[in-house]
Amino acid sequence: EAQVTQNPRYLITVTGKKLTVTCSQNMNHEYMSWYRQDPGLGLRQIYYSMNVEVTDKGDVPEGYKVSRKEKRNFPLILESPSPNQTSLYFCASSSRIEANQPQHFGDGTRLSIL
């Protein structure tokens, strides 16, 4: 089954404790992206990757890192999480960056930073 898998689905942690949210897709997609969803703001792009070893900042990259060592994986790293990073996070992928390629989304990861 074609899917985008995020782990963990839920995490409660404390300020400053490094964490990683994994994202894996089994569709051989080149393009992958991370979004955060906050009430009243919709989804905002954090980082994206057009292919292996190619990553770039989205609209809200501060406080986040990503890596793309393999095509299927695109982890989101919070080196020193802060309470303003409490949010619902979505990973997405598509076969190419062209606008007519719809993005497939994971089920989300809810992070709470205390």
Residue type, 93: S
Paired sense of beta strands 109-113 and 10-13, if any: parallel
- 79 contacts other proteins (rule: CB under 8 A): no
- Residues forming a β-bridge with 55: 49
Residue 95 interacts with other proteins (CB under 8 A): yes or no:
no
Q: Which two tokens stand for residue 16?
A: 């400053």
Instruction: Look up residue 114 and give its two tokens.
Output: 């205390």
Residue of 11, 30, 44, 112 that binds other proteins (CB under 8 A): 44
Residue 41 within binding range of other proteins, rule CB under 8 A? yes
Q: Does 89 contact other proteins by CB under 8 A?
A: no
Q: Name residue, tokens 């992958």.
A: 32
- The smaller minimum CB distance to other proteins, of residues 18 and 96, is found at 96
Give strand pairing partners of 91. 34
Whichever of 74 and 90 has its CB closer to other proteins, that residue is: 90
100: CB partners within 8 A, 6+ apart: none
Shortest Å distance, C-beta 76 to other proteins = 15
The residues that touch other proteins, with contacts defined as CB under 8 A, are 4, 33, 35, 40-45, 48, 56, 58-59, 90, 92, 97-100, 102-108
